[in-house]
Amino acid sequence: MQVTLADIRFSRDDWRLEADADFGRGIHFVAGAVGSGKSTLALIMAGLIAPDEGSVVRDGMNAAMLSLQFPESHVTGWTVEEEVRSWGLEPATVLRDVNLAEKAGTRPLELSRGELKRLELACILALKSELLILDEPFCSLDCVQKRTLCRRLAERTAGITIIFSHEQYILPAVDTVWEMKEGRLVNHGTVPHALEVWGDTAPLHIRWAVARGIHPANIRIEDVQEAACRTCD
């Protein structure tokens, strides 16, 4: 099971994107500044836009599932309940899990932004897609919901998960770190080695640790805390 980006090139006016990479099983984290091309690459990987050159090869899996950055882009149902059904899911279970059972009859766009994001993510995660691409899944979520999402992602033991995010604090454990840098997709390698070479777009706690010579096992703040306290003792 693998997704290959074979010499992808894409440009718009004077802005360019290049990627040549293989994504295998596990959780991949793609960092990068606003405007660096994360969302565009996510759309290309999901097959929603075609690159100018190169190709995306999905080996050993069916379609990709993409969670868009703005949750209202996914809405197709008039009510929260219909919205869940539109994903082919049973509303009662999904809504109970995300604590929105009371809002079953509410219009999706009347939910708060964070509530809508958590509803769409719950539906997408429930589908257990082999290739799951998440564009800024933490945006608009509060810290409790971000932690819940991290737990859900950790439960995904099969398939390929690719997280495009600029989240700085609450993150799941990942296998590989990438970065969109000056229009190119850069592979920082596997964790924990990747943390040493990541640089400016690394989460604040990772930069905090690296600056102090602390070596966390992964990118979660708990990993930094554990490594820091161990060094301390």
Interaction with other proteins in 65-94: which residues (CB under 8 A)?
A: 69
Task: Give least dist CB 227 to other proteins, A.
Answer: 10
Task: Give least dist CB 203 to other proteins, A.
Answer: 8
Q: Which residues have a Cβ under 8 Å from the Cβ of 27 and sit 6 or more positions away?
A: 153, 156, 161, 163, 172, 173, 174, 175, 176
Quote the CA–CA distance of 196 and 211 in Å, as a whole number. Answer: 10
Q: In this chain, which of 205, 218, 219, 223 binds other proteins, going by CB under 8 A?
A: 205
> Is the CB of 58 or the CB of 74 nearer to other proteins?
74
> Is the CB of 14 or the CB of 62 nearer to other proteins?
14
Which H or E element spans position 150?
A: helix 143-154
Interaction with other proteins in 99-158: which residues (CB under 8 A)?
A: 111-115, 117-118, 136, 139-147
Q: Which residues have a Cβ under 8 Å from the Cβ of 34 and sit 6 or more positions away?
A: 166
Q: Which residues bind other proteins (CB under 8 A)?
A: 13, 32-35, 69, 111-115, 117-118, 136, 139-147, 166, 168-170, 200-201, 203-205, 208, 212, 221, 224-225, 228-229, 232
